[in-house]
Amino acid sequence: MAGVGPGSSTAVLPEGVALGAASEVAPLRAVLLHRPGEELSRLTPRNNDQLLFDALPWVARAQEEHDAFAAVLRSRGVAVYLLGDLLAETIAHSGAARIQGISAAVSPRRLGLGLAEELSAYLRGRPADELARILTGGMTFDELPGSGSDSASLVRQMHHGGDFAIEPLPNLLFTRDSSFWIGRRFAITSLALAARARESSLTDLIYAHHPMFSGSRRAYESQIAPVEGGDVLLLAPGVVAVGVGERTTPAGAESLARSLFDDGLAHTVLAVPIEQQRAFMHLDTVCTMVDRDAVVMYPSMHDTAVAYTMRADDGGVSVGEARPFLEAAAEAMGIAKLRVIDTGLDPVTAEREQWDDGNNTLALAPGVVVAYNRTVETNKRLIDAGIEVLEIEGGELGSGRGGPRCMSCPLSREF
């Protein structure tokens, strides 16, 4: 097999660790993260809104924060895999993956046929690690091969040098959204917004061609309508909550439910409407599980969140009336009550800490979560409720509006 670079090796799972996840809180064994890189340095005041960042992160500091996040996970026995490494290894391993990645990134619509063919041919000849960097970090017109040469291409001549010939993917940082595992299967999601749509072409090729995933089967293959991983919460084995709002659509939630029922991966899917606004872009920005029977939740959702219960019904799907989410969830999970860790916050603090991803915790085990240290009040309430909170810095990482759960895709949790 071709290596990625000198001295490189191909990632494998630790002994005894099996791919898959059936809940949000069972002990985490392996996780997919993306160490932010060049794609973050592509953000400018002109493109940050469109690329879904609220500020321009200090890249080196964001990398330090991310390294510290990964170190916390490793210190708790979690095997950490980095998307950039897996991508380079996949491309080194598989010519088909190389072609797939290039064709998803090079758009004849944007570049015209001539330039698109020229660029594709150039990329086919790049070393795997360089190609992986281009597929994630993008490429400007100035960086195109032969730039500055006397070119017959109108496209080259009429674009500014700093325009993107290949768009960067700064939101790859949020590995939660572009794939998720349910049972022993992985699902490649269908991302709603143009700025993120290409991310799933990379997770798709990694899962399809990296040796670590060989033999793994897919869930939700049809990908008919948008579903993003940040909206999918595995409340308990067989019970899934799906946020429906700015990203995941009703059609996405319904087709996901249908597919999970058909594959025997869930018996109940709860569709939970969330406000269609930036602050609440996914269900996991307002609610995450911190224990087998407990969630941390944005206070204003506590009494207002509802759910439509979908169940498999005679080859189809039955949909119940909207009812209180906490009640519907507890019933589906077969528990008396789904506890809400009451953050008891005043509306202003609650709003600020929700914005700063205080509700976006990553569970490493029942009652053990990772959270940003800046959400001081929420963390305090979690600790008072007996939850162990492992705090990380997020001053720079948080500028993309995502916390520890958003930045992680569990590859393996104990069943």
Ligand X SMILES: NC(=O)NCCC[C@H](N)C(=O)O
Binding letters toward ligand X, positions 213-232, x by CB under 6 A? -----------------x--
Contact pick of 138, 245, 252, 400 for ligand X (by CB under 6 A): 400
Nearest to ligand X of 174, 181 (CB atom): 174
Nearest to ligand X of 73, 102 (CB atom): 73
Binding of residue 29 to ligand X (CB under 6 A): no
Contact pick of 242, 401, 404, 412 for ligand X (by CB under 6 A): 401
Nearest to ligand X of 174, 372 (CB atom): 174
Contact range with ligand X by CB under 6 A, out of 70-78, 104-112, 169-177, 335-343: 169-177
- Respond yes or no: is residue 287 known to be catalytic: no
Binding letters toward ligand X, positions 185-214, x by CB under 6 A? -----------x------------------
Is residue 348 classed exposed, middle or buried when 0-12, 13-18 and 19+ CB atoms within 10 A define those classes? exposed
- The answer to whether residues 10 and 90 touch, using CB atoms and an 8 Å cutoff, is no
Q: Which is catalytic among the residues 4, 256, 390, 406?
A: 406
Residue 300 and residue 340: Cα distance in Å, rounded?
Answer: 12
N-to-C CA span, the chain: 33
Nearest to ligand X of 174, 325 (CB atom): 174
**β partners of residue 217:** 185
Contact pick of 69, 174, 298, 308 for ligand X (by CB under 6 A): 174
DSSP calls for 328-364: HHHHHHT-S--EEE-----HHHHHHHHHTTTT--EEE
**Closest by alpha carbon to 284, among 199, 184, 410?**
410
- Of residues 51 through 70, those in contact with ligand X by CB under 6 A are 52
Residue 392 and residue 406: Cα distance in Å, rounded?
Answer: 14
Binding of residue 406 to ligand X (CB under 6 A): yes
The size of the chain, in residues, is 415
Nearest to ligand X of 88, 244 (CB atom): 244
H/E element, 194: helix 194-197
Contact pick of 177, 199, 353, 396 for ligand X (by CB under 6 A): 177
Nearest to ligand X of 192, 212 (CB atom): 192
**Closest by alpha carbon to 85, among 230, 202, 217?**
202
Residue 139 and residue 116: Cα distance in Å, rounded?
Answer: 13
- Of residues 228 through 287, those in contact with ligand X by CB under 6 A are 230, 281-282, 284-285
- The answer to whether residues 220 and 187 touch, using CB atoms and an 8 Å cutoff, is yes
Residue 13: C-alpha distances to residues 212, 301, 317 (Å): 7, 39, 36
For 257, the 3-state DSSP assignment is helix
Q: How far is the CB of 8 from ligand X (least distance, A)?
A: 30
Q: Could you tell me how many residues of this chain bind ligand X (CB under 6 A)?
A: 15
Binding of residue 402 to ligand X (CB under 6 A): yes
Look-up of token digits 């496209």? 155
Binding of residue 358 to ligand X (CB under 6 A): no
Note the residues at the interface with ligand X (CB under 6 A).
Answer: 52, 171, 174, 176-177, 196, 230, 281-282, 284-285, 400-402, 406
Tell me which residues are annotated as active site.
406
